[in-house]
Amino acid sequence: MSDKGDPSASPAAAAGKFAPNQTLTLAAMLFAVSMTFIDQTIVAIAAPDIIHELGLSASGMQWVVNAYLLALAAFFALGGRLSDIFGHRRIMVIGTLVFAIASALCGAVPKGGGAETWLIAFRAVQGLGAALMFPAALAVVVAVFPVERRGRALALFFGLSGALTCVGPLLGGWLTDWTWRAIFWVNVPVAVIALVLTARARIPRNATREPLDVPGAVLVAVGMGLSVFGLQQASAWGWDSAATWLCIVGGLLVLLVFGALELRTGHPLIRLRVFRDRAFTVDVVVLFFAMIAFVPVFFFASVYAQVSLSASPNQAALFLLYFFIGFAIASQWGGRILDRRGARPALKLGCALGAVGFALWAHRMTDLSMHDQWPYAALAGAGIGFLLAPASTDAVNRAIDASYGEVTGITQTVRYYAASVGLAVFGTVLTHVTTDRVADTLRARGLPDRTAKSTAHSIAEAVTGQGDASEPTGSGPVATATRHAMGAIRLDFAEANRAVFYGMAGALAIAFICSYFHPGTRVTAEPRTPQTPQTPQSPQGTGDDVRV
């Protein structure tokens, strides 16, 4: 990529007095969003130290993790729309400042009775900052790079930022050896670098100054927040709990009301007519099913490595590097395919490779050998890498009236909602299958049926992060039988993870079927701006290229 952009490369660039520096722009946005990706996984590594020092409850620590993800899901759409109204660069800077300040306050949490509330509250503020920052940062990259180079630029954006998710456990382990508070403080210098690079990149100003759809913003935040809350609490409340379904169904009903309102609003938060574009709809659906596997794989593969393969947390993070080697390489190829041939070939190839990779990975999990699994982990990562950037970029390229922030808000909301679905559903599958198989193992060791079931349930909760994960202690028959069966229990957990990873393969298989409905059209010009006279569009699907 050249250091100097072409003033005519995009409408946003042409609007400024000086052309933006594309390399500095991309670097600045990568530094900014890297914080949001790392923070998805870094806190889990420091959890024992946080609980010990602050005296947090198990449920309180769970909310330290969930509050961040919940705020992300609830406010992504709002962040994208604010980016369009007030300017991508301005909202990116505001989001970065909010995130950095909240990070500093998370690290400065005082000891005492209010520590849990303090930490949960500022983790939620972190999520709000990330929800403002991420769609704005992505919109900046889209606006600065011309459409013919956008696929490669966003492949680098998604490839590097996505790979940073696996850095969280490694960085978290290293920083926690000093102090767990450093996992939050490290965001401050990263944010400073991002802001300095942003100031030097000469990113053009762009704003529409349309009125903000406040009722729509409230409804989408409540609907997304309530349904994601229900999914997060499903493991604690149970899928047979009325409260679980009240939250999930209630949230979805609120989202339906939001959709009906948007269709009648003059300046909606989300212009739903973008879904009339079949290619955009297919991009979003493929992203949904792919993200059901992509984000949860970090958690499930890490726990599998630590329980079934007896790996340390840092070794488990290295295990994920196999996945990211395939992901990083394929993401660059996927961007080139998008630029040359459009999104459809990349989506089909990525979904197919991902489905095969996850299925083969699942098949080899009971071998209990980390080195025997690396080709299949890399293949699964390559599948996600091929499709992630092309699906996201193609969707953004089809933005109505160049509303890049709005469309990135849609795609990122879908991604995080899909991740919540995957974590909830696969977490339930993992717990139930682990319980059934461990109970069978303990019964074979001579424990009575009721004792075997209750012990198996406790073990399943421990290894899936819902209980005390310490080794069984004591000299009673139950503790003795459990200790003697630990080898078989590790295999039982591997078999439970096999079911989860087959489920991930199934999600990618559904995405593969959906990819066939993509019309195969390409975006070869920038979306119309509100000032550009509308011209008739070519009928969709009549050729390889379309101009929107």
Instruction: Note the pLDDT tens digit of each residue in 166-194.
Output: 666 667 767 777 888 988 998 999 999 99
Neighbours of 157 (CB within 10 A): 25
Which of 212, 241, 258 represents a domain boundary (last residue)? 212
Q: Which among 146, 266, 148, 145 has a CA at the least distance from the CA of 216?
A: 266
Residue 504 carries which side chain, given as an amino acid letter? M
- Mean pLDDT to the nearest integer, 65-74: 83
Q: What is the pTM of this model?
A: 0.80
What pLDDT is stored for residue 480 in this prediction?
Answer: 52
The 10s digit of each residue's pLDDT in 457-493 is 777 776 665 544 444 444 445 455 455 566 778 888 8
Cα 171 to chain centroid distance, Å, stands at 19
Q: How many domains does the chain divide into?
A: 2
CATH code of the domain covering residue 128: 1.20.1250.20
The answer to whether residue 128 is domain-embedded is: yes
What pLDDT is stored for residue 14 in this prediction?
Answer: 41
What pLDDT is stored for residue 468 in this prediction?
Answer: 45
- Mean pLDDT to the nearest integer, 17-30: 79
Residue 467 to residue 214: CA distance in whole angstroms: 41
Same domain, 41 and 147: yes
**Of the candidate ranges 57-61, 441-445, 526-530, the one whose mean pLDDT is the lowest:** 526-530
The answer to whether residue 313 is domain-embedded is: yes
Cα 357 to chain centroid distance, Å, stands at 20
Same domain, 187 and 333: no
pLDDT at 23 > cutoff 60: yes
What pLDDT is stored for residue 543 in this prediction?
Answer: 35
The 10s digit of each residue's pLDDT in 349-406 is 999 999 999 999 999 998 888 888 989 999 999 999 999 889 988 888 887 665 777 7
Same domain, 354 and 279: yes
For residue 15, name the pLDDT band (cuts at 50, 70, 90): very low
Residue 310 to residue 304: CA distance in whole angstroms: 9
One DSSP character per residue, 136-190 reads HHHHHHHHHS-HHHHHHHHHHHHHHHHHGGGHHHHHHHHHHTT-TTHHHHTHHHH
Q: Which residues does 169 contact at the CB level (< 8 Å), separation at least 6? A: 41, 42, 44, 45, 302, 313, 314, 316, 317, 320
Which of 192, 212, 232 represents a domain boundary (last residue)? 212
* DSSP 8-state symbol, 98: H
The answer to whether residue 469 is domain-embedded is: yes
- Report whether 206 contacts 87 (CB < 8 A): yes
**Domain containing residue 105:** 20-212
Residue 456 to residue 140: CA distance in whole angstroms: 51
The answer to whether residue 252 is domain-embedded is: no
What pLDDT is stored for residue 151 in this prediction?
Answer: 77
pLDDT at 16 > cutoff 50: no
pLDDT at 110 > cutoff 80: yes
Same domain, 125 and 58: yes
The 10s digit of each residue's pLDDT in 419-448 is 888 888 888 888 888 888 888 888 887 777
What pLDDT is stored for residue 464 in this prediction?
Answer: 61
Q: Could you give phi then psi for residue 468, rounded to 5 degrees?
A: -80, 120
The answer to whether residue 12 is domain-embedded is: no
Which of 165, 187, 212 represents a domain boundary (last residue)? 212
For the chain, what percent of residues have pLDDT higher than 70?
A: 83
